Chain A
Amino acid sequence: MDSGKQRRFAKRGKGFLGLTRADAIRYFFGGNASLAIFILLLICVFLFKEAAGFLPGHHAGLTKWRRSGQEFVDILNVAVDGHTRLGSALNIGYFAELNATSKAEQQQLFSYRAVLQRVKGTVRGPAGRLKKLLKEFTEAGEKLAEAEQDLAGADLDPARQASLRAALPGYRAVIAEVEPRIAMLEERIAEGVAEALAGDEVWEGQNLVADDREAVAEAICDQFEAAEQKHPWVAGLEDFVREKKAERTPQLAGFKEAVTAFRNAIRPVKDLISPLREAASELKQQAIAAESAPKRKAALLAGAEATNDLAERARKLAAAEAVVVAAPPYDEVAEGFYAETAAFEAVVADLRKEIDAAVEALPATGELADPSARENLERFRNSLADYRESLDRAVARAKDWRHDEPYPQVKSFLVFLIGKEWITNSSWHDFYGLMPLFTGSLLISMIALVVSVPFALGAAIYVNQMASRREQNLIKPAIEFIQAIPSVVLGFFGIMVLGTLLRDVSQVSWLAWVPGFPLQERLNILNAGLLLAFMAVPTIFTLCEDALNNVPQAYASGALALGATRMQTILRIIVPTALSGIIAAVLLGFGRIIGETMVVLLVAGGKIQIPDFSKGIGVVGEAAHTMTGIIAQETGEVDRGSLHWRALFMVGLVLFSISLAVNWGAQIILRRFQRHGT
Chain B
Amino acid sequence: MSDQEDRTGNPFAAPSRHADRRASRERLLAVLFRLLTYAILACAMGIFLGVVIRGAPVIFQAQAPFINTDFFTQLPETLVVYEDAQGEVRKLSATRFEEMRSANPDRQFSIVDSYSYSGGGILGPLVGTALLIAICMVISLSVGIAAAIYLNEYSSKGRFMAAVRLAILNLAGVPSIVFGLFGLGLFCLAAPNLVPVDEIADRSIFSFAIPFTSAAISFEGWGACMLAGGCTLAIMILPVIITAAEESLRAVPHGFREASLALGATRWQTIRKSVLPYAFPGMLTASILGITRVAGETAPIMFTAAVAHKDKLPWIGDDPEASWIGRLLEFFFQSVQALPYHIYTVAAKIPQSDYNRDMQYGSVFVFMALVFFFAALSIWLRARIRRKLHW
Contacts and interface: CB of A to CB of B under 8 A. Distances in A.
Interface of A: 2-3, 6, 21-22, 25-26, 28-30, 32-37, 39-40, 42-43, 46-47, 49-50, 125, 129, 181, 184-185, 188, 454-456, 458-459, 461-463, 466-467, 475, 477-482, 484-493, 495-497, 534, 537, 541, 563, 565-568, 571, 588, 591-592, 594-598, 601-602, 628, 631-632, 635-636, 640-641, 648-649, 652, 655-656, 659-660, 662-664, 667
Q: Is the interface of B mostly helix, strand, loop or mixed?
A: helix
Interface in B247-302: 264-269, 292-293, 295-299, 302
B176 interface: yes
A491 B147 contact: no
B274 to A, nearest CB: 15
A598 B298 contact: yes
A489 B368 contact: yes
A37 B161 CA distance: 10
A220 B256 CA distance: 82
A155 B36 CA distance: 94
25 contacts: A3-B266, A29-B146, A32-B143, A33-B146, A33-B164, A34-B160, A39-B171, A40-B171, A49-B185, A455-B39, A462-B30, A462-B37, A484-B296, A485-B368, A486-B297, A488-B340, A489-B51, A489-B296, A493-B50, A567-B1, A597-B176, A640-B189, A641-B203, A648-B181, A667-B169
Nearest to B143: A32
B40 A488 contact: no
B12 A565 contact: no
A631 B183 CA distance: 13
Given A455-B39, A459-B36, A29 B367 contact: no
Contacts of A595: 173-178
B170 A40 contact: yes
Contacts of B40: 455-456, 459, 479, 482, 534, 537, 541
Contacts of B368: 485-486, 489
Contacts of B160: 34
Given A466-B30, A478-B41, A29 B299 contact: no
Interface stretch (B71-79, B210-218, B319-327, B342-350): B342-350
B164 A37 contact: yes
B340 A565 contact: no
Nearest to B344: A488
A541 B36 CA distance: 12
A45 B149 CA distance: 28
Contact of A42 (B83, B166, B182): B182
A534 to B, nearest CB: 6
B169 to A, nearest CB: 6
Given A40-B171, A563-B13, A663-B169, 17 more contacts: A29-B149, A30-B154, A35-B143, A36-B164, A49-B190, A181-B87, A475-B37, A481-B44, A485-B368, A486-B297, A489-B51, A489-B367, A491-B348, A598-B298, A648-B181, A652-B181, A656-B178
Interface string B35-50: 0110111011001001
A537 B36 CA distance: 11
A461 B177 contact: no
B238 A3 contact: no
A558 to B, nearest CB: 14
A475 B242 CA distance: 26
Nearest to A466: B30
Contacts of B297: 486-487
Contacts of A537: 40
B135 interface: no
Contacts of A601: 344, 348
Interface string B308-338: 0000000000000000000000000000000
Contacts of A631: 177, 180-181
Closest 7 A-B residue pairs measured CB to CB?
Answer: A595-B175, A486-B296, A458-B36, A29-B150, A46-B185, A32-B146, A563-B10
B177 A484 contact: no
B164 A481 contact: no
Given A22-B268, A29-B149, A663 B348 contact: no
Q: Is the interface of A mostly helix, strand, loop or mixed?
A: helix
A655 B178 contact: yes
Contacts of A541: 40
Interface stretch (B99-107, B192-200, B371-379): B371-379
Given A40-B170, A46-B186, A598 B30 contact: no
A660 B175 CA distance: 10
B29 interface: yes
A660 B153 CA distance: 28
A125 B178 contact: no
A493 B47 contact: yes
B228 interface: no
B17 to A, nearest CB: 16
Interface in B332-391: 340, 343-344, 347-348, 360, 364, 367-368, 371-372, 374-376, 379
Nearest to A26: B154
Contact of A43 (B143, B146, B182, B293): B182
Contacts of A39: 167, 171, 235, 238
A270 to B, nearest CB: 38
Contact of B379 (A46, A477, A596, A648): A477
B375 A33 contact: no
B242 to A, nearest CB: 7
Given A33-B147, A489-B51, A3 B269 contact: yes
A492 B146 contact: no
Interface residues of B, number: 102
B222 interface: no
A462 B164 contact: no
A588 B239 CA distance: 15
A295 to B, nearest CB: 14
Contacts of B153: 29
A34 B164 contact: yes
Contacts of A588: 173
B364 A489 contact: yes
A635 B37 contact: no
A40 B175 contact: no
Contact of A32 (B150, B171, B203, B343): B150
A598 to B, nearest CB: 5
Contacts of B347: 488, 491-492, 495-496, 602
Contacts of B29: 567, 571
Contact of A636 (B190, B302, B371): B302
A670 to B, nearest CB: 10
Contacts of B32: 458
A565 B47 contact: no
B171 A462 contact: no
A36 B295 contact: no
A637 to B, nearest CB: 10
Contact of B147 (A29, A463, A568): A29
A430 B293 CA distance: 38
Given A125-B112, A485-B296, A567-B30, A667 B178 contact: no
Contacts of B265: 3
B344 A602 contact: yes
B64 interface: no
A466 B164 contact: no
B178 A659 contact: yes
A35 B147 contact: yes
Given A28-B146, A43-B182, A596-B175, A36 B168 contact: yes
A145 B349 CA distance: 51
A566 B37 contact: no
A656 B174 contact: yes
B374 to A, nearest CB: 8
> Looking at B12, B41, B47, which has the most chain A CB atoms within 10 Å of its CB?
B47
A307 to B, nearest CB: 20
Nearest to A25: B268
Nearest to B145: A32
Nearest to B39: A455
B47 A40 contact: no
Given A36-B164, A488-B344, A46 B182 contact: yes
A563 B9 CA distance: 7
